[in-house]
A and B are shown apart, each in its own frame.
Chain A
């Protein structure tokens, strides 16, 4: 807490040091990227690495530019974003709902637990052929894949969050004569908000994995499709460019959730 408005000399030094440190960290982050791409570019130009196999930053930029100009980029990005977000939302809603049911009935939880553990251990890609047969060779399969990858983790994370609710607070509400639904709405759900946010963070990553794997298996468009297609026809520029685009979008989505976390969890 601030004791007075005048900042002492020592405090000034401390703040300056803090600022300098932050600058150093940010600079180092930037330098790593610059050096990495710089060496890559130079090595490709000089001929140390074969740019046909390894591509190069300038070729990646050119490929992305071409994709933008032809308008293909929007189609592919939109497709993958749509699949990822749909899978992400579905998984969050269904996973949280199942976790709520598990909190509500202890017996339901006990009965369903072993199945959840098995499904969690199962590599979801193993279900790929079945999903394609059921949902067809298109977007629905991919959305389902993204959903499946994220939903089990959601359920497990959320039920653990619900159960971590302090016993003392539950007892307090009971002593006020609270019904189970009131304990849920007044205490368990609001107290699990931090868990929910961290669950969203995990889910974004999971949904991306699911949608890209889905596109590898069956798709005609999307970033995952571009990567597979580029690999098959030996267009490594396309593979690398798609990967960079993927990195950017995954980063942006994570950043957006972190931002909402800061505003939502101020009080916790």
Chain B
């Protein structure tokens, strides 16, 4: 499979009045097309910074980020970003929310509008197109947010703890839901999470970061059965073993 994203020796520092805070140090990894990759690590370690860098929202101090063979310098519409909260605009209907990226990119034509509406139909939001976000449940809102991200047909999805604002029950269900949509649409995804089990349940590959300044602690290729849903994978024997391995690795380091 072809490599879609490549980080080469990426370092990043934040500048504040009180001094310079090194966040990432010499981060290198690759993501192949169609892969589901998780980035895990202790809170405040700069996981979100990794996504911001890939999304082109901030620039690295050193190193390069190559996406689809080109260096990332600014936000690219082939990369979709999904945040912790759904961030749906309350004054727009679900349909208008989903059209938002098209309006921003000034390519809201009939064909793209139809594609976006088809996604809403396909993933159970058919009757809610004209509803406002506050009429939807947390899980449905997160699904609407995902479809908004998909409306520009991105090649790569960046998921920044997209389930952490939900309660545990909903969280497991929405995780399955989002995962199946991503797989169904054949998208490549990078998930940032502090939840080790969530990472194992969803991912082909897990990148563990150390605490700040973060370097790569280890890369794990999971051996879970990829034909199962994330929830079902949690019941596999290999799930427990992988969890223990990564858990120990993270704890030994800290």
| A interface residue numbers (CB < 8 A to B) | 166, 168-169, 171-178, 182, 186-187, 190-191, 193, 267-268
Contact = CB atoms under 8 A, between A and B. Distances in A.
Nearest to B76: A177
Contacts of B158: 175
B104 A173 contact: yes
A174 B134 CA distance: 24
A155 B61 CA distance: 39
**3 closest A-B pairs (Cβ-Cβ)?**
A175-B81, A177-B75, A176-B104
A171 B134 CA distance: 21
A172 B87 contact: yes
B164 to A, nearest CB: 13
Contact of B89 (A169, A174, A178, A182): A169
Interface in B74-91: 74-77, 79-81, 83-85, 87, 89-91
Interface string B38-76: 000000000000000001010000000000000000111
A187 B89 contact: yes
Task: Identify which of B57, B80, B100, B158 gathers the most chain A CB atoms within 10 Å of its CB.
Answer: B100
Contacts of A190: 89, 91
B248 to A, nearest CB: 34
B132 interface: yes
Contacts of B74: 177
A190 to B, nearest CB: 5
B105 interface: yes
B87 A186 contact: no
Contacts of A193: 91
Contacts of B134: 267
A268 B100 CA distance: 18
B101 interface: yes
B91 A268 contact: yes
Contact of B100 (A174, A186, A267): A186
A55 B152 CA distance: 72
B244 interface: no
Contacts of B57: 171, 174-175
Contacts of A268: 90-91
